[in-house]
Amino acid sequence: MSADLDDLTRRMDGALEALRKEFSGLRTGRASTALLDNVNVDAYGSKMPMNQVGSISVPEPRLLTVQVWDNSLIKEAEKAIRDADLGLNPQTEGNLIRVPLPDLSEERRVELTKVAAKYGEQARVAVRNVRRDGMETLKKNEKNGEISKDEQHDRSEDIQKLTDQHIAEIDKLLAEKEQEILQV
C-alpha cells in the first residue's frame, strides 16, 4: 500500500473543512445564520437543529430572525436560543423570533481570538498527523522494497508540499477570522 496523495489531500481538506465549521460558530460582531447551527430545539419528543424547525435569516448586519413553522414550537425555539450560551436574548413577535446581536466587549473579542487560535492549532495538528501517517507509510514501503529510496524521497517532498499548502491555508483562515472578530 503506497501513501496515496489523493487520500492525504482528502484528509487534510477534511481538517480545513472542520476548521471552517468551527469558525462559523464563533460569534463576531456580524450576524450569520451559522451562529444558530449548533442550537437544538426540543421538538416532537427529540432534539432538532434550529434550521429544521424554522427558517433563519439575516435581515440586518446585527440581527437574526427565525421564522418558526409550527406555532407550538415558538417557546421551545426561543428557550433553545436563550439557553445556548451564545449571549443572545431572543424576542418573540407572533411566530417570528428576533435575535439582536449585542456589541462585543473588547475583553470578549480578545477571548474569541484565543478560541479561534486554539481551533487553528487543532487543525494544524490534524494536518501534521496526516503527514506523519503518509511519511510512515512511505518508509514502510521503502523498507519492504515496494518503492526505491529516490521514489520515497520524491513522494516525501510531495507530501511536505501538500502539508505546507494546507498549513498556509489554515493560517490565512485564522488571520481572516481574527480580523473579523477584532473589527468594531
Write out pLDDT tens, residues 8-60.
999 999 999 999 988 877 766 677 787 887 788 998 889 998 989 999 999 98
Residue 25 confidence (pLDDT): 72
Q: Are residues 53 and 115 in the same domain?
A: no
Q: Is the pLDDT of residue 68 over 70?
A: yes
Q: Are residues 131 and 144 in the same domain?
A: yes
- Answering whether pTM is above 0.75, one says no
Domain boundary residue among 100, 132, 158? 100
Write out pLDDT tens, residues 118-130.
999 999 999 999 9
CATH number of the structural domain spanning residue 64? 3.30.1360.40
Please report where in the chains the cell 447551527 appears, as a residue: 37
Distance CA 22, CA 175 (A): 14
Q: Are residues 112 and 171 in the same domain?
A: yes
How many domains is the chain built from?
2
